[in-house]
Amino acid sequence: MHVRRLTPAALLLLAPVLAACNGKDAASDSPAPSTPASAPSTADSPTPTAASSATSPSSASSATSAPVEVTSAPAAGLPAACDIVTADDVAAAYGVTVGQAEVGGGSTSEGARTWSSDNCSFEAPDLVEVTVKLSGPEDFSKGGFGCPQPSDISGVVEPADDIAGAAHGWWKVSNPPHFKASLRACTTTALLEIDLDYQDGVDYEGDPRNQSAALAERLLAALKRA
């Protein structure tokens, strides 16, 4: 399947699934819903999806350099994000060639929840940036640990509860013309998020949602072994 990023076609492909999500409440641009809990609630459940690339997975190669500068610390009991994902994992999932891992961190607010994350980013120059974010219960400074539904402002959101190893999940894709997507997959002890940010004007192939789901399943398995 060939999807063009600057046309409404990319969104139309997801329209049947996302239509049911139009009635969901919006919060802020980052993820975080309502009821606090010590484990993901059914109202805040997650499911996968993400973005792909202009090259096919079979022909893509990847760099496996060590992560650059550490700017955040993982939550207690969880590995660092860059300990569970490599450039090879990203290449296999999206069919892109990426540079070395870049360690970082961030903060997200969704509705009644606010939390921080340990991040690991990979860039395919002039194509896409893929960022893996990992958070634990102690990273939630407001609202309690959970699996917040992303805001549907400037995009469409659908449940992503088909990810092996996750209790719940969400998939969000932005409105054209700038293609961004985010897959959130949660367990009872961790919130994993995969963000995709494509460069304007590029063509890409594949199914970002399914590719992100496959990567999320791989990372959740690695998280369980850690």
| pLDDT tens sequence for the chain (226 residues) | 333 343 333 333 333 333 333 444 433 344 444 444 444 443 443 433 333 333 333 334 334 334 434 345 676 679 999 999 999 999 999 999 999 999 999 999 988 999 999 999 999 998 999 999 999 999 999 999 999 999 888 899 999 999 999 999 999 999 877 889 999 999 999 999 999 999 887 777 779 999 999 999 999 999 999 8
The CA-based angle 174-170-150, given to 5 degrees, is 60
What residues contact residue 24 under an 8 Å CB cut-off, 6+ apart?
149, 152, 157
DSSP 163: -
